Amino acid sequence: MNLLGIDIGGTKTAVCIGHADGKILYSKRIPTTSESVEAYRHQLIELCHHVVEKANLRPEDLDGIGISAPGPLDCKRGVLIAPPNNPGWKDVPIQAMVQKTFKAPVFVNNDANACALAELLFGAYRGVRSLVYLTFSTGMGGGIIVNGQLIQGVTDTGGEVGHHVLDPEGPLCGCGQRGCWEAYVGGRNVAEQLKAKIKAGNISTSIVNKAGGLDKINLQAFEAAAREGDRFALAEWDIFTDRLAQGVGNLIMILNPEVILMGTIGIHAGDFVMGPILDKLPKYAWEWPRRACKVVPSSLGGKIGELSALAVAATGLKPSGG
């Protein structure tokens, strides 16, 4: 089965050709332009044709096309409602844009759901019946698989774990609620809160130097300073990993999953983040569901983007998931 995968990220779009077993034949990336939708459509279709040709295939050889894109989106209509990194884009009919050119059916899902499907189909834990995939970048997202099926929900917002509220009196989230999980552990929110604390307390911390300035503070600088033993960074890292553990614990208690996979920060920070999360989990989840759940970094690493788009295609063609 020849599948075309389109992974639309905030800054880059990757297109690949692969098979239903996750083998990638050819892949290429271009910057995701924030210009007009029409200009992007043109570039994207050209890239799709290029990738098909490079894999020695013809467009009619494709069996299915999968698109993994940032939410919020309407999966049934295949529309990107308002991609966060492309402010000019609104209600982009991405599925129709691609379907106009190719005969093979086009399927769309949000990036976190797509990553959960990729772990289910191609990852180290493939074969499990229940897993959760979590991604922590500027914001945070999740994808939930129960009994081998993705939890899509009636409005495609199933798995939006980043916006379950940990404290209604907590910091304001980009979504408008207070105290969402993302408000405590999403990259943009963490950076903003660190900045505010450093400014208000006139705190001396190596986070600022590592980032190259107060305004450039990010998760990487935060982690690097904490690793080196910076006192402020370490104390904040303790708070940060406690909030991570709180959300993970909630998922364990609600879903009783076999595996929880942490993308991005789990991959980059490894034991430095996973260790404290596991240490703090007993505060938030009972022992037996906790012991039955492996909380580990994503098993697909840097290849997960392309694989997530292939997983959307493979699952769309075989919706039973098994």
Q: Binding of Zn ion at residue 163 (CB under 5 A)?
A: yes
Please compute, for residue 206, the number of CA atoms within 13 A of its CA located in the half-sphere on the CB side: 13
Q: Are the CB atoms for 300 and 122 separated by under 8 Å?
A: yes
The C-alpha atoms of residue 183 and residue 233 are separated, in whole angstroms, by: 18
Q: Tell me the two tokens of residue 300.
A: 């697909």
Strands (E), the chain: 3-8, 12-18, 24-31, 64-69, 73-74, 79-80, 106-110, 131-136, 140-146, 149-150, 259-262, 294-297
Q: Binding of Zn ion at residue 254 (CB under 5 A)?
A: no
Closer residue to Zn ion in complex, CB, 180/285? 180
Closer residue to Zn ion in complex, CB, 98/173? 173
Closest distance of CB 226 from Zn ion, Å:
25
Closer residue to Zn ion in complex, CB, 49/178? 178
Site for Zn ion in 53-72 (CB under 5 A): none
Write each residue from 272 to 291 as x if it is in contact with Zn ion (CB under 5 A), else as -, in one continuous string: --------------------
The C-alpha atoms of residue 249 and residue 254 are separated, in whole angstroms, by: 9
Return the residue of 149, 177, 193, 206 that touches Zn ion, per CB under 5 A: 177
Site for Zn ion in 180-219 (CB under 5 A): 180
The C-alpha atoms of residue 147 and residue 175 are separated, in whole angstroms, by: 30
Q: Binding of Zn ion at residue 173 (CB under 5 A)?
A: yes
Total residues contacting Zn ion by CB under 5 A comes to: 5
Residues listed for the chain: 322
Closest distance of CB 34 from Zn ion, Å:
23
Q: Binding of Zn ion at residue 175 (CB under 5 A)?
A: yes
Chain positions contacting Zn ion, by CB under 5 A:
163, 173, 175, 177, 180
